[in-house]
């Protein structure tokens, strides 16, 4: 799934705070956004392995939520929503496509790395690939309750995220075609650090 879907998913997880603990809602929404974002910072360094921990994040998120419920504070709520956003991100990626350059071809058997079992989890392809039409639809569905309840800068963040998602979806297949061309004009000293999926049709990192 694309990053906009993940970050909006993280924010949606914090929406109940608007009712049960409105004083923590803003920090929860920001923490959920960041939790949905951080795993994808490994995009160019062992993507879906270096910062993706579907099991560990889930365990930590469970503990974080329990602590947040028992001892609510800005810190505990922020940590809980961050971990929850990251956990949902990593688990959700299992239901997307694989790691190949053109994931709509369905040739990769790698969705997310399971550090506990020491193996890759195969993609389920419920969402065929990041930037697919159904991925954009999911982004829109997640945005609806956020846009209906949020105001000010957070609402603008949601609108901007939806716009990014729409542009990415429209350009997704073109980007896949463009990537190998761009890599060829990179300096030879830089090219070895580019993930293999951008240098060849091989999805292996």
Q: How many whole angstroms separate alpha carbon 83 and alpha carbon 61?
A: 5
Q: Residues 143, 154: contact at Cβ < 8 Å?
A: no
Q: How many whole angstroms separate alpha carbon 52 and alpha carbon 169?
A: 23
pLDDT number for residue 193? 67
Residue 78 predicted with pLDDT over 80: yes
Q: Mean pLDDT in the chain?
A: 93
Poorest-pLDDT segment among 22-26, 88-92, 102-106, 181-185: 181-185
Q: What tokens were used for 202?
A: 């091989």
Q: How many whole angstroms separate alpha carbon 15 and alpha carbon 188?
A: 48
According to DSSP, residue 129 is labeled S
Q: Could you write out the DSSP letters of every residue in 29-86?
A: HHHHHHHHHGGGGGTTSSTTTSS--HHHHHHHHHHHHHHHHHS--HHHHHHHHHHHHH
- Length of the chain equals 205
Residue pointed to by tokens 């270096």: 50
Q: What is the band of 205 on the pLDDT scale with cuts at 50, 70, 90?
A: very low
Better-predicted residue by pLDDT, 105 or 195: 105
pLDDT number for residue 199? 66
110: CB partners within 8 A, 6+ apart = 48, 98, 99, 120, 121, 122, 123, 203
Q: Residues 6, 96: contact at Cβ < 8 Å?
A: no
Kindly report, residue by residue over 13-49, the tens digit of the pLDDT.
Answer: 999 999 999 999 999 999 999 999 999 999 888 999 9
Q: Could you write out the DSSP letters of every residue in 80-96?
A: HHHHHHHHHHHHHHHTS
Q: How many whole angstroms separate alpha carbon 154 and alpha carbon 168?
A: 21
């Amino acid at each position: 799934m694309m990053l906009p879907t993940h970050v909006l998913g993280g924010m949606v997880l914090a929406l109940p705070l608007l009712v049960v603990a409105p004083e923590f809602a803003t920090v929860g929404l920001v923490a959920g956004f960041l939790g949905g974002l951080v795993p994808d910072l490994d995009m160019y360094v062992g993507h879906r392995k270096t910062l993706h921990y579907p099991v560990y994040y889930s365990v930590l998120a469970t503990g974080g939520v329990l602590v947040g419920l028992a001892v609510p504070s800005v810190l505990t709520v922020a940590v809980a929503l961050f971990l929850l956003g990251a956990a949902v991100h990593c688990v959700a990626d299992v239901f997307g496509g694989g790691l190949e350059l053109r994931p709509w071809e369905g040739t990769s058997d790698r969705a997310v790395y399971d550090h506990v079992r020491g193996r890759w989890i195969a993609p389920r392809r419920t969402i065929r690939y990041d930037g697919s039409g159904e991925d954009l639809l999911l982004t829109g569905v997640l945005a609806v309750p956020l846009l209906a309840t949020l105001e000010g800068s957070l609402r603008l963040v949601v609108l901007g995220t939806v716009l990014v998602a729409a542009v990415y979806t429209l350009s997704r297949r073109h980007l896949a075609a463009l990537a190998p061309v761009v890599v060829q004009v990179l300096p030879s000293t830089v090219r070895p650090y580019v993930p293999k999926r951008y240098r060849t049709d091989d999805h292996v990192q």
